[in-house]
Amino acid sequence: MTGRKKVLIVEDDFSSKLYLNKVLEKMDLVLLNAGDGKEALELLKENPDIDIILMDIQMPVMDGYSCTKKIRESGSSIAIIAQTAYGMSDDRDKMISLGFNDFLIKPISQKNLVEKVSEYL
């Protein structure tokens, strides 16, 4: 039993994944990783105590929009922070209507990442 918060990083790009892990490793968190939306759903099923999901949008197999939709359809109110490409969406209302709690625009600075994750812990 650990009191540490669990964060699920959903990201298909290897270097982005390494970067997110490296930054978040400095916080006292348990980090889980999924490479696409389908894997994320499986990990979430095995770890219902996940506190925050950092969700990439463009991924193979199942994208971040579909994955988030499925999580919300299951009745979960887990915090989901989208990682959006620059210019793709900076519309907060639209992201919230799609089921996200919040979003970060790529490239994500260390400071913004730590601040945003801390906000939902």
**DSSP string across 25-40:** TTSSEEEEEESSHHHH
Q: State yes or no: residue 36 binds Mg ion (CB under 5 A).
A: no
Q: State yes or no: residue 39 binds Mg ion (CB under 5 A).
A: no
Two tokens at 99?
């089921």
Query: What's the min distance (Å) between Cβ of 49 and Mg ion?
Result: 26
- In angstroms, the CA 2 to CA 119 distance is 20
Comparing CB distances to Mg ion, the nearer of 5 and 31 is 31
Q: State yes or no: residue 88 binds Mg ion (CB under 5 A).
A: no
- In angstroms, the CA 80 to CA 99 distance is 8
Query: What's the min distance (Å) between Cβ of 54 and Mg ion?
Result: 12
Query: What's the min distance (Å) between Cβ of 67 and Mg ion?
Result: 12
Two tokens at 72?
């919300």
Comparing CB distances to Mg ion, the nearer of 5 and 16 is 16
